[in-house]
Chain A
Amino acid sequence: GAGVSQSPSNKVTEKGKDVELRCDPISGHTALYWYRQSLGQGLEFLIYFQGNSAPDKSGLPSDRFSAERTGGSVSTLTIQRTQQEDSAVYLCASSPPPGALEQYFGPGTRLTVT
């Protein structure tokens, strides 16, 4: 079946502009995660959604970052007033209903802020 998809695959934006990154999880997966991977670095947790529960936003680095998940499926990560340090690959992952724990990753969106 279809895996996790993300769009766009690449995004170049000017400093100060807003960007929206999209994630389509695997159908039936109830959990959705966003991570940031900077060049040569590990994965930095950003936010986690599980079903209809309140999201865990503890990893969002500043109030310029926000995310929503509509209808328990598609998620959008929004970065307002982008800065050069926001340049990274943004990864989305989804997991089956609670108990499975392993995550299935999308290909990522490479964001470059000039």
Chain B
Amino acid sequence: GDSVTQMEGPVTLSEEAFLTINCTYTATGYPSLFWYVQYPGEGLQLLLKATKADDKGSNKGFEATYRKETTSFHLEKGSVQVSDSAVYFCALTRNTGGFKTIFGAGTRLFVKA
């Protein structure tokens, strides 16, 4: 079945460091890929998405590129801030035959000042 695998956390970085959170997936067909973020005490919210191979999603300085050849959707940010401290979830949704979404386990990010 479909699955999403994320790097385990927590990830601890200093402010202005470069961030990569790895995400790989297994799915039949051509799913859409997402990153959701959950800030402390808040609900999940969409961070960015990509709907087809080679698409790059971007938002708030975060980027992720849909790589079909490596079945990956790694999240990157060039310079993190303390306010980026949160839990990040990678997810996939099939585009046909129903829209069931599979989430990764989440990666907690701590950014130190």
Contact = CB atoms under 8 A, between A and B. Distances in A.
Interface residues of B, number: 22
Contacts of B45: 105
Interface in B70-113: 89, 93, 95, 98-106
A83 to B, nearest CB: 23
Interface of A: 31, 33, 35, 41-43, 45, 48, 50, 56, 58-59, 91, 93, 95, 98, 101-108
Contacts of B43: 91, 105-108
**Nearest 10 A/B pairs, CB to CB:** A42-B105, A43-B103, A105-B44, A105-B43, A107-B43, A102-B46, A42-B106, A42-B103, A101-B32, A101-B93
B97 to A, nearest CB: 10
A12 B95 CA distance: 38
B66 interface: no
